[in-house]
Amino acid sequence: MCAPASQKRSPLLPPELPWLYLLLPLPAAFLVGGNLLNVASPALEHALIKMYVPWIVYGSLYLAVYSRLIPRALDSLQRPWQRVLLHPAVVCVVTPGAALGIVPLLDWVCGERQDRGAFLIVSFIFSSATLFPSLAVQRWRVRAQAAEQKALLERRAALEAQLQALQARTDPHFLFNSLNTVASLIPEDPELAERTLERLADLFRYALESSRLRTVRLERELAMIADYLALQSTRFGERLQTRLDVDSGLGDIEVPPLLLQPLVENAILHGTAQRKRGRVEIAVRREQDSLVVEVCDDGPGPGGSSHRGAGTAIAGVTERLRLHYAERGSLQLTVDPRGGCLARLALPIGGEA
């Protein structure tokens, strides 16, 4: 697949490889030539020339080929095995091709005819021993950088979701209504007023703490949802009926924090807040290798709410799913068979993308 024009391609070889070509010939010369410290000056010079000239020429050629030609060749190859075989093919073409020019040069500099066969064998060995590990190291480095970049993007998305959730919690209307509810409860039911304030504090604490975490246990996320539902039930009273059904054995599953809250908030906002009476139900279960969360309300259904928001809540959940699970997570908004809106969230069990 071709890289987008706006995306800069990572080099196929390590950027520090030219320094390797300058440093390795000396130990290689001793490796091939034995104890060169006892060799006379002309012979020592010839041995070093025999190592440095091929390394510099081969190094320059491979760097040029892999910076200009091979990226385009890789883009044109569709099958993985073709891409794997391309690198040995490059060695088989570049090494003897360059040897045709290097060997006569060494003959002239050293004043003696070089053994063509031995030179070609040594060239193949050192070219392969340098090129293939360099490709592997750079591939590992690019993958590590991509994973780090993905984690950074996911971190930013999680932070943005956390900030949005915190903003929703600190929305003046939300705080005004919640505090009014607590104030009205103080003379009538001080214990309920105290519990309501504690739940409100827990929501703030969870929103702040989750900014430092990539995942939380489902049990913790659902506890926050339960507090949120209790707080809203206290606010709306008999106007709001809620239900939370969770299958057993799912509490230890790791999920991104604050992923469910926007769906529940949307269900209350669009399905209940503008009506005299409403119902919000949350069902959590396992389906094969997926964790399925369904949030449904009995409101007017998708697109039928009188409340017109910016759609940032659903967009935020969708983006976090993409960053955290790639194509393995999904969110669907449909009409509930009983009427109203059904938000179905499916998360893979067993890790990130």
The tokens describing 123, both together, are 């060239």
The tokens describing 321, both together, are 């799913």
Query: What's the topology of domain 170-348?
Result: Heat Shock Protein 90 (3.30.565)
Would you place residue 2 in the very low, low, confident or very high pLDDT band (cuts 50, 70, 90)? Answer: very low
266 or 42, which is more confident? 266
* Distances, alpha carbon 87 to alpha carbons 72, 80, 123, 300, in Å: 13, 12, 16, 60
* Distances, alpha carbon 189 to alpha carbons 174, 194, 202, in Å: 21, 9, 20
Do the Cβ atoms of 295 and 257 come closer than 8 Å?
A: no
Do the Cβ atoms of 143 and 135 come closer than 8 Å?
A: no
Dist. CA 58–CA 119, nearest whole Å: 13
Whats the size of the chain, residue-wise? 353
Q: Where does the chain hold its CATH 3.30.565.10 domain(s)? A: 170-348
Do the Cβ atoms of 243 and 229 come closer than 8 Å?
A: no
pTM: 0.54
Residue 243 main-chain phi, psi, to 5 deg: -150, 135
- Cite the DSSP H helix spans in 170-277: 172-188, 190-209, 218-236, 261-271
- Cite the DSSP H helix spans in 253-326: 261-271, 312-325
- pLDDT (tens digit per residue) in 229-271: 888 888 788 888 999 999 999 999 999 888 888 898 888 887 7
Dist. CA 42–CA 319, nearest whole Å: 68
Q: What is the DSSP string of 87-149?
A: HHHHHHHHHHHHHHHHHHHHHHHHTS---HHHHHHHHHHHHHHHHHHHHHHHHHHHHHHHHHH
- pLDDT (tens digit per residue) in 182-192: 887 788 888 88
* Interior angle at CA 137, CA 135 and CA 139, nearest 5: 65
- pLDDT (tens digit per residue) in 46-61: 666 777 777 778 878 8
- pLDDT (tens digit per residue) in 307-320: 555 556 788 888 88
Task: Using CB atoms within 10 Å of the CB of residue 346, give its burial: 0 to 12 exposed, 13 to 18 middle, 19+ buried.
Answer: middle
Q: Please tell me the predicted confidence (pLDDT) of residue 286.
A: 94
Dist. CA 217–CA 223, nearest whole Å: 10
Closest CA to 330 of 307, 308, 353, 310: 353
